[in-house]
C-alpha cells in the first residue's frame, strides 16, 4: 500500500506528472500528425501542475487515460486526415469523465 501511495505521489508531483504527460503527448501527436495538418491543443504544463490539487484521484486516472490514448496515435500519412482526426478526437472522450472543477483549474 505504501508503494502505491508513493507512486501516486510521484505522478502528482514533479516531472512525472499527468500534466507533463499530456503536454508531451500533445507535442508528439502534433509531430505524428504534421502531414495531416495537426495543431497543438496548447496545454500549459505549469498552469496544470500548479492547480492539479483540485483534481481527484478519479480525475487523474481519466487524464492519464487521455494521455495514454494520445501517446498511442499512429503517424498520420497523407490521405488519412479524417481517420487520424477521428482517432485523436476519440481520445478526448475520456476528458468527459474529468470533473469540471479539475478541467477548469488545469486549463
Q: Tell me: the pLDDT tens digits for 42-92?
A: 888 999 999 999 999 999 999 999 999 999 999 999 899 999 999 999 999
Three-state DSSP class for residue 81? helix
Instruction: Write out the residue range of the structural domain in which residue 46 sits.
Output: 2-106
Inter-residue contact 65 to 94 (CB < 8 Å)? yes
Total of domains in the chain: 1
pTM above 0.85, yes or no: no
Rounded to whole angstroms, how far apart are CA atoms 29 and 51? 24
For the chain, how big is the Rg over CA atoms in Å?
A: 15
* Other beta carbons within 10 Å of 59: 21
Amino acid at each position: 500500500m505504501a508503494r502505491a501511495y508513493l507512486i501516486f505521489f510521484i505522478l502528482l508531483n514533479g516531472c512525472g506528472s499527468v500534466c507533463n504527460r499530456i503536454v508531451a503527448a500533445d507535442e508528439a501527436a502534433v509531430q505524428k500528425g504534421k502531414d495531416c495538418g495537426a495543431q497543438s491543443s496548447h496545454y500549459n504544463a505549469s498552469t496544470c501542475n500548479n492547480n492539479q490539487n483540485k483534481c481527484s484521484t478519479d480525475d487523474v486516472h481519466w487524464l492519464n487515460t487521455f494521455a495514454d490514448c494520445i501517446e498511442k496515435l499512429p503517424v498520420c500519412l497523407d490521405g488519412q486526415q479524417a481517420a487520424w482526426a477521428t482517432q485523436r478526437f476519440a481520445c478526448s472522450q475520456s476528458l468527459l469523465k474529468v470533473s469540471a472543477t479539475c478541467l477548469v483549474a488545469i486549463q
